[in-house]
Amino acid sequence: QVQLVESGGGLVQPGGSLRLSCAASAMFFSVYDMGWYRQAPGKQRELVARISSGGSTIYIDTVKGRFTISRDNAKNTVYLQMNSLKPEDTAVYYCNRATTPWSWGQGTQVTVSS
């Protein structure tokens, strides 16, 4: 059973930045494509950024140029650097495998508001 622990969320003003972290207990973490997802109130969970085992990255259009996903395989950790945050980025953020998800962690709340 893989455990995922997200952290780093909080309340930030529009234009601000946050860095999210996700520690995974998965063996062979480095072979998996990983992703950051978010779920806003009343909306479905969406994959906003993914990073392959080789380090290639893909982003949805609404975060491209503002968010950066990265990973440290030695620490079994994936990161999401979020800059120029907007109120519409407000959501609970989760990390998981970018293909077939494992069980979900508790997520970390990001609130962008003045």
Residue 35 structure tokens: 């992703």
pLDDT in tens, 103-114: 999 999 999 999
Residue 26 has pLDDT above 90, yes or no: no
CA nearest to 46, candidates 87, 98, 2, 110: 98
The whole-angstrom separation of Cα 60 and Cα 20 is 17
Q: How confident is the model at residue 1 (pLDDT cuts 50, 70, 90)?
A: confident
Give the DSSP per-residue string, 29-54.
GGGS-EEEEEE-TTS--EEEEEE-TT
pLDDT in tens, 44-73: 999 999 999 999 999 999 999 999 999 999
The residue count for the chain:
114
